[in-house]
Amino acid sequence: MATVEHLSPLWDAFRKELAEVSTDEALTDLRDKYLSRSRGAVTVELKKLGQLSAEERPQAGKLLNELKLLVEQALAEKAGEIREKQKSARYQAERVDVTLPGYAYHTAGRHPIRRALEEMERIFVSMGFSIMSGPEVEVDYYNFEALNMPKGHPARDAQDTLYVTDNLVLRTHTSPVQIRTMEKQKPPVRIIAPGRVFRRDSVDATHSPMFHQIEGLVVDEGITLADLKGTIEMFLKAFFSEDTRIRLRPSYFPFVEPGAEVDVSCIFCRGTGCSICKQSGWIEIMGAGMVNPRVFQILGYDYEKYTGFAWGMGVDRIVMLKYQVEDLRLLFDNDIRFLSQF
Ligand code: PHE
Protein backbone atom coordinates (compact mmCIF):
# COMPACT_ATOMS: atom_id res chain seq x y z
CA MET A 1 0.00 0.00 0.00
CA ALA A 2 1.22 3.41 -0.94
CA THR A 3 1.17 5.17 2.38
CA VAL A 4 3.73 7.56 3.84
CA GLU A 5 4.92 4.78 6.11
CA HIS A 6 5.31 2.46 3.21
CA LEU A 7 7.04 4.91 0.90
CA SER A 8 9.47 6.69 3.19
CA PRO A 9 11.95 3.74 3.37
CA LEU A 10 11.98 3.79 -0.44
CA TRP A 11 12.77 7.50 -0.40
CA ASP A 12 15.42 7.04 2.28
CA ALA A 13 17.06 4.23 0.32
CA PHE A 14 17.09 6.38 -2.80
CA ARG A 15 18.65 9.31 -0.94
CA LYS A 16 21.34 7.10 0.50
CA GLU A 17 22.21 5.67 -2.87
CA LEU A 18 22.13 9.06 -4.52
CA ALA A 19 24.67 10.37 -2.03
CA GLU A 20 27.16 7.77 -3.25
CA VAL A 21 26.77 8.68 -6.92
CA SER A 22 29.56 10.69 -8.47
CA THR A 23 29.57 9.77 -12.19
CA ASP A 24 27.14 10.07 -15.11
CA GLU A 25 27.04 6.28 -15.48
CA ALA A 26 26.16 5.67 -11.84
CA LEU A 27 23.48 8.33 -12.08
CA THR A 28 21.91 6.69 -15.11
CA ASP A 29 21.92 3.35 -13.32
CA LEU A 30 20.22 4.89 -10.31
CA ARG A 31 17.59 6.56 -12.48
CA ASP A 32 16.84 3.18 -14.08
CA LYS A 33 16.62 1.48 -10.72
CA TYR A 34 13.89 3.86 -9.52
CA LEU A 35 12.19 5.21 -12.60
CA SER A 36 12.70 2.82 -15.53
CA ARG A 37 9.40 1.93 -17.23
CA SER A 38 9.63 -1.78 -16.65
CA ARG A 39 11.34 -2.32 -13.31
CA GLY A 40 11.85 1.06 -11.61
CA ALA A 41 10.97 0.83 -7.89
CA VAL A 42 8.68 3.86 -8.11
CA THR A 43 7.14 2.68 -11.38
CA VAL A 44 6.36 -0.67 -9.81
CA GLU A 45 4.48 1.09 -7.01
CA LEU A 46 2.58 3.18 -9.52
CA LYS A 47 1.53 0.03 -11.36
CA LYS A 48 0.15 -1.39 -8.11
CA LEU A 49 -2.31 1.51 -7.87
CA GLY A 50 -4.73 -0.42 -10.08
CA GLN A 51 -5.18 -3.01 -7.34
CA LEU A 52 -6.41 -0.42 -4.82
CA SER A 53 -10.00 0.43 -4.06
CA ALA A 54 -11.52 3.59 -5.48
CA GLU A 55 -11.31 5.35 -2.09
CA GLU A 56 -7.69 4.59 -1.47
CA ARG A 57 -6.45 5.26 -4.98
CA PRO A 58 -6.48 9.13 -5.19
CA GLN A 59 -4.57 9.56 -1.95
CA ALA A 60 -1.98 6.91 -2.80
CA GLY A 61 -1.64 8.21 -6.37
CA LYS A 62 -0.99 11.72 -5.12
CA LEU A 63 1.70 10.50 -2.74
CA LEU A 64 3.39 8.38 -5.37
CA ASN A 65 3.41 11.19 -7.91
CA GLU A 66 4.95 13.50 -5.34
CA LEU A 67 7.61 10.91 -4.66
CA LYS A 68 8.28 10.51 -8.37
CA LEU A 69 8.65 14.25 -8.70
CA LEU A 70 11.04 14.42 -5.75
CA VAL A 71 13.17 11.64 -7.21
CA GLU A 72 13.29 13.39 -10.57
CA GLN A 73 14.26 16.68 -8.97
CA ALA A 74 16.98 15.06 -6.88
CA LEU A 75 18.36 13.28 -9.96
CA ALA A 76 18.43 16.54 -11.95
CA GLU A 77 20.19 18.34 -9.12
CA LYS A 78 22.78 15.59 -8.94
CA ALA A 79 23.33 15.76 -12.72
CA GLY A 80 24.03 19.50 -12.33
CA GLU A 81 26.50 18.84 -9.52
CA ILE A 82 28.35 16.24 -11.57
CA ARG A 83 28.57 18.65 -14.55
CA GLU A 84 30.02 21.38 -12.33
CA LYS A 85 32.57 19.00 -10.85
CA GLN A 86 33.66 17.86 -14.31
CA LYS A 87 34.01 21.45 -15.43
CA SER A 88 36.21 22.49 -12.55
CA ALA A 89 38.31 19.34 -12.95
CA ARG A 90 38.88 20.31 -16.56
CA TYR A 91 39.76 23.89 -15.63
CA GLN A 92 42.25 22.55 -13.14
CA ALA A 93 43.83 20.23 -15.69
CA GLU A 94 44.06 22.91 -18.34
CA ARG A 95 45.30 25.58 -16.04
CA VAL A 96 47.98 27.84 -17.48
CA ASP A 97 50.42 29.56 -15.21
CA VAL A 98 50.62 32.98 -16.77
CA THR A 99 53.52 33.94 -14.51
CA LEU A 100 55.85 31.35 -16.13
CA PRO A 101 58.57 32.90 -18.31
CA GLY A 102 57.84 32.73 -22.06
CA TYR A 103 59.85 30.93 -24.71
CA ALA A 104 62.88 32.80 -26.01
CA TYR A 105 62.70 33.13 -29.79
CA HIS A 106 65.18 34.16 -32.43
CA THR A 107 64.50 37.12 -34.61
CA ALA A 108 65.09 36.22 -38.22
CA GLY A 109 67.67 38.20 -40.14
CA ARG A 110 68.52 38.62 -43.77
CA HIS A 111 71.15 36.25 -45.15
CA PRO A 112 74.43 38.07 -45.98
CA ILE A 113 73.98 37.26 -49.68
CA ARG A 114 70.45 38.63 -49.60
CA ARG A 115 71.64 41.75 -47.80
CA ALA A 116 74.38 42.34 -50.35
CA LEU A 117 72.02 41.73 -53.27
CA GLU A 118 69.50 44.19 -51.88
CA GLU A 119 72.20 46.79 -51.35
CA MET A 120 73.49 46.27 -54.89
CA GLU A 121 70.00 46.50 -56.35
CA ARG A 122 69.39 49.69 -54.40
CA ILE A 123 72.52 51.31 -55.84
CA PHE A 124 71.79 50.28 -59.42
CA VAL A 125 68.16 51.34 -59.17
CA SER A 126 69.34 54.76 -57.94
CA MET A 127 71.49 54.89 -61.10
CA GLY A 128 68.43 54.34 -63.28
CA PHE A 129 68.56 50.57 -63.83
CA SER A 130 65.52 48.33 -63.70
CA ILE A 131 65.59 44.78 -62.37
CA MET A 132 64.93 41.79 -64.62
CA SER A 133 64.91 38.07 -63.94
CA GLY A 134 64.95 34.85 -65.93
CA PRO A 135 64.56 31.11 -65.31
CA GLU A 136 67.26 29.07 -63.57
CA VAL A 137 66.50 26.11 -65.81
CA GLU A 138 67.33 27.61 -69.17
CA VAL A 139 67.06 26.69 -72.83
CA ASP A 140 70.33 26.10 -74.69
CA TYR A 141 69.44 28.95 -77.06
CA TYR A 142 69.46 31.61 -74.32
CA ASN A 143 72.35 30.23 -72.28
CA PHE A 144 74.63 29.69 -75.31
CA GLU A 145 73.35 29.99 -78.86
CA ALA A 146 72.07 33.57 -78.84
CA LEU A 147 75.14 34.62 -76.85
CA ASN A 148 77.24 33.75 -79.86
CA MET A 149 78.20 30.32 -78.59
CA PRO A 150 76.88 27.96 -81.27
CA LYS A 151 77.05 24.19 -80.70
CA GLY A 152 80.64 23.00 -80.71
CA HIS A 153 81.98 26.41 -79.69
CA PRO A 154 84.99 25.85 -77.41
CA ALA A 155 83.75 28.46 -74.92
CA ARG A 156 80.90 26.08 -74.02
CA ASP A 157 83.34 23.62 -72.50
CA ALA A 158 84.74 26.25 -70.15
CA GLN A 159 81.30 26.63 -68.57
CA ASP A 160 81.11 23.20 -66.87
CA THR A 161 77.45 22.99 -67.70
CA LEU A 162 74.90 20.95 -65.75
CA TYR A 163 72.48 19.53 -68.33
CA VAL A 164 68.85 18.73 -67.60
CA THR A 165 68.25 17.43 -71.13
CA ASP A 166 70.14 17.93 -74.39
CA ASN A 167 68.39 21.23 -74.84
CA LEU A 168 67.88 22.34 -71.22
CA VAL A 169 70.60 23.44 -68.82
CA LEU A 170 70.88 24.91 -65.37
CA ARG A 171 71.95 28.38 -66.47
CA THR A 172 75.71 28.77 -66.14
CA HIS A 173 75.50 32.57 -65.93
CA THR A 174 72.92 35.36 -65.79
CA SER A 175 73.76 36.44 -69.36
CA PRO A 176 70.71 34.66 -70.85
CA VAL A 177 68.63 37.41 -69.23
CA GLN A 178 70.38 39.85 -71.60
CA ILE A 179 68.85 37.96 -74.52
CA ARG A 180 65.41 37.60 -72.90
CA THR A 181 65.39 41.34 -72.21
CA MET A 182 66.44 42.40 -75.71
CA GLU A 183 63.85 40.07 -77.23
CA LYS A 184 61.13 41.94 -75.36
CA GLN A 185 62.47 45.47 -75.33
CA LYS A 186 63.84 47.92 -77.88
CA PRO A 187 66.71 50.30 -76.91
CA PRO A 188 67.37 52.15 -74.73
CA VAL A 189 67.95 49.25 -72.33
CA ARG A 190 69.33 49.69 -68.83
CA ILE A 191 68.82 46.59 -66.67
CA ILE A 192 70.40 44.43 -64.04
CA ALA A 193 69.56 40.75 -63.55
CA PRO A 194 70.52 39.23 -60.20
CA GLY A 195 70.17 35.50 -59.61
CA ARG A 196 71.51 32.03 -59.02
CA VAL A 197 73.77 30.28 -61.51
CA PHE A 198 75.09 26.71 -61.61
CA ARG A 199 78.27 24.99 -62.70
CA ARG A 200 79.69 21.49 -62.39
CA ASP A 201 82.23 22.26 -59.70
CA SER A 202 83.28 20.43 -56.58
CA VAL A 203 82.84 22.28 -53.33
CA ASP A 204 85.78 23.92 -51.59
CA ALA A 205 86.58 27.21 -49.88
CA THR A 206 86.23 29.20 -53.10
CA HIS A 207 83.99 26.99 -55.30
CA SER A 208 80.36 25.97 -55.19
CA PRO A 209 78.12 24.38 -57.85
CA MET A 210 75.60 27.13 -57.13
CA PHE A 211 76.48 30.79 -56.78
CA HIS A 212 75.11 34.23 -57.57
CA GLN A 213 75.69 36.81 -60.27
CA ILE A 214 74.37 40.22 -61.12
CA GLU A 215 74.19 40.76 -64.84
CA GLY A 216 74.16 44.29 -66.23
CA LEU A 217 73.18 45.45 -69.68
CA VAL A 218 73.07 48.94 -71.18
CA VAL A 219 72.18 49.53 -74.83
CA ASP A 220 71.64 52.86 -76.51
CA GLU A 221 73.07 55.11 -79.19
CA GLY A 222 76.64 56.22 -78.50
CA ILE A 223 77.43 53.93 -75.56
CA THR A 224 81.20 53.46 -75.16
CA LEU A 225 83.71 51.55 -73.08
CA ALA A 226 84.08 54.72 -70.98
CA ASP A 227 80.42 54.33 -69.95
CA LEU A 228 81.11 50.77 -68.87
CA LYS A 229 84.09 51.82 -66.83
CA GLY A 230 82.32 54.81 -65.29
CA THR A 231 79.22 52.80 -64.37
CA ILE A 232 81.17 49.98 -62.72
CA GLU A 233 83.41 52.41 -60.89
CA MET A 234 80.50 54.46 -59.62
CA PHE A 235 78.79 51.32 -58.37
CA LEU A 236 81.85 49.96 -56.58
CA LYS A 237 82.61 53.28 -54.91
CA ALA A 238 79.05 53.34 -53.58
CA PHE A 239 79.17 49.70 -52.48
CA PHE A 240 82.67 49.57 -50.97
CA SER A 241 84.14 53.02 -50.46
CA GLU A 242 84.91 56.26 -52.28
CA ASP A 243 88.60 55.43 -52.70
CA THR A 244 87.89 52.17 -54.55
CA ARG A 245 89.59 51.94 -57.95
CA ILE A 246 89.11 49.50 -60.81
CA ARG A 247 91.17 48.18 -63.67
CA LEU A 248 90.23 46.32 -66.82
CA ARG A 249 92.28 43.45 -68.21
CA PRO A 250 91.58 42.19 -71.72
CA SER A 251 89.70 38.91 -71.73
CA TYR A 252 87.48 36.89 -74.01
CA PHE A 253 83.75 36.17 -73.88
CA PRO A 254 82.00 35.32 -77.19
CA PHE A 255 79.13 37.76 -76.53
CA VAL A 256 81.27 40.87 -75.96
CA GLU A 257 83.95 42.56 -78.03
CA PRO A 258 86.21 43.76 -76.62
CA GLY A 259 85.90 41.74 -73.42
CA ALA A 260 87.55 42.33 -70.07
CA GLU A 261 88.00 41.06 -66.55
CA VAL A 262 87.38 43.80 -64.03
CA ASP A 263 89.53 43.98 -60.92
CA VAL A 264 88.79 46.08 -57.86
CA SER A 265 91.53 47.55 -55.70
CA CYS A 266 91.88 45.30 -52.64
CA ILE A 267 89.43 46.58 -50.04
CA PHE A 268 91.57 45.22 -47.20
CA CYS A 269 95.00 46.63 -47.93
CA ARG A 270 93.76 49.42 -50.23
CA GLY A 271 96.04 48.15 -52.94
CA THR A 272 99.32 47.81 -51.09
CA GLY A 273 99.24 43.99 -51.08
CA CYS A 274 97.97 41.47 -48.52
CA SER A 275 97.07 37.78 -48.22
CA ILE A 276 93.50 38.33 -49.47
CA CYS A 277 94.66 39.83 -52.78
CA LYS A 278 97.70 37.53 -52.86
CA GLN A 279 99.99 40.58 -52.64
CA SER A 280 98.75 41.90 -55.98
CA GLY A 281 96.63 44.75 -54.61
CA TRP A 282 93.76 43.71 -56.95
CA ILE A 283 90.81 41.34 -56.73
CA GLU A 284 88.92 40.02 -59.75
CA ILE A 285 85.16 40.43 -59.44
CA MET A 286 83.53 40.32 -62.88
CA GLY A 287 83.62 39.76 -66.59
CA ALA A 288 82.47 42.60 -68.81
CA GLY A 289 82.69 44.11 -72.26
CA MET A 290 80.99 45.84 -75.17
CA VAL A 291 78.06 43.84 -76.53
CA ASN A 292 79.21 41.92 -79.60
CA PRO A 293 77.39 43.25 -82.72
CA ARG A 294 76.86 39.59 -83.60
CA VAL A 295 74.47 39.32 -80.62
CA PHE A 296 72.55 42.42 -81.78
CA GLN A 297 72.34 40.84 -85.21
CA ILE A 298 70.92 37.56 -83.81
CA LEU A 299 68.25 39.60 -81.97
CA GLY A 300 67.45 41.92 -84.86
CA TYR A 301 68.80 45.04 -83.16
CA ASP A 302 70.29 47.65 -85.52
CA TYR A 303 74.00 47.11 -84.81
CA GLU A 304 74.99 50.12 -86.93
CA LYS A 305 72.96 52.40 -84.71
CA TYR A 306 73.29 50.92 -81.23
CA THR A 307 76.15 49.97 -79.01
CA GLY A 308 76.05 48.58 -75.49
CA PHE A 309 77.98 47.14 -72.62
CA ALA A 310 77.37 44.23 -70.29
CA TRP A 311 78.87 42.71 -67.21
CA GLY A 312 78.46 39.63 -65.04
CA MET A 313 79.49 40.24 -61.46
CA GLY A 314 80.27 37.51 -58.91
CA VAL A 315 78.07 38.28 -55.92
CA ASP A 316 79.34 35.62 -53.50
CA ARG A 317 82.89 36.76 -54.11
CA ILE A 318 81.92 40.31 -53.23
CA VAL A 319 80.02 39.18 -50.14
CA MET A 320 83.12 37.32 -48.95
CA LEU A 321 85.16 40.48 -49.41
CA LYS A 322 82.66 42.81 -47.83
CA TYR A 323 82.08 40.68 -44.71
CA GLN A 324 85.55 39.11 -44.61
CA VAL A 325 84.26 35.56 -44.93
CA GLU A 326 87.15 33.30 -45.79
CA ASP A 327 85.26 30.13 -46.73
CA LEU A 328 82.49 30.22 -49.34
CA ARG A 329 80.86 27.16 -47.77
CA LEU A 330 79.88 29.20 -44.72
CA LEU A 331 77.50 31.15 -46.95
CA PHE A 332 75.56 28.00 -47.89
CA ASP A 333 75.70 25.84 -44.74
CA ASN A 334 73.11 28.01 -43.00
CA ASP A 335 74.66 27.41 -39.61
CA ILE A 336 72.82 29.74 -37.27
CA ARG A 337 76.05 30.55 -35.39
CA PHE A 338 77.46 31.98 -38.59
CA LEU A 339 74.30 33.67 -39.78
CA SER A 340 73.57 35.35 -36.46
CA GLN A 341 76.73 37.45 -36.87
CA PHE A 342 75.10 39.54 -39.58
N1 PHE B 1 78.59 35.64 -68.28
C2 PHE B 1 80.01 35.75 -68.04
C3 PHE B 1 80.42 34.67 -67.05
O4 PHE B 1 79.66 34.22 -66.28
C5 PHE B 1 80.38 37.11 -67.49
C6 PHE B 1 80.13 38.23 -68.44
C7 PHE B 1 78.90 38.84 -68.48
C8 PHE B 1 81.12 38.64 -69.29
C9 PHE B 1 78.69 39.90 -69.38
C10 PHE B 1 80.90 39.69 -70.15
C11 PHE B 1 79.70 40.31 -70.18
O12 PHE B 1 81.49 34.22 -66.98
List pLDDT tens digits, range 259-270: 999 999 988 888
Nearest atom, ligand 1, residue 159 CA: 12
Mutate to test the pocket of ligand 1, among 144, 149, 161, 175 (most ligand atoms within 8 A of CB): 175
pLDDT in tens, 121-140: 999 999 999 999 999 999 99
For the cut 80, the answer to whether the pLDDT of residue 4 exceeds it is no
Nearest atom, ligand 1, residue 216 CA: 9
Q: What is the pTM of this model?
A: 0.70
CA distance 199 to 174: 12
- How far, in Å, is the centroid of ligand 1 from the Cα of 286? 7
Tell me the one-letter amino acid at 178.
Answer: Q
- How far, in Å, is the centroid of ligand 1 from the Cα of 297? 19
| Closest by Cα among 259, 181, 266 to 215 | 181
Question: Mean pLDDT, to the nearest integer, of 28-33?
Answer: 94
256-265 sheet: strands from edge to edge: 130-131, 189-198, 210-220, 307-314, 282-291, 256-265, 246-251
Distances 324 to 112, 205, 267 between C-alpha atoms, Å: 11, 13, 10
Mutate to test the pocket of ligand 1, among 251, 255, 257 (most ligand atoms within 8 A of CB): 255
Nearest atom, ligand 1, residue 259 CA: 10
pLDDT in tens, 225-261: 999 999 999 999 999 999 999 999 999 999 999 999 9
For the cut 90, the answer to whether the pLDDT of residue 310 exceeds it is yes
pLDDT in tens, 60-107: 889 989 999 999 999 999 999 999 999 999 999 999 888 999 888 877
Handedness of CA 59, 63, 68, 69 (dihedral sign): positive
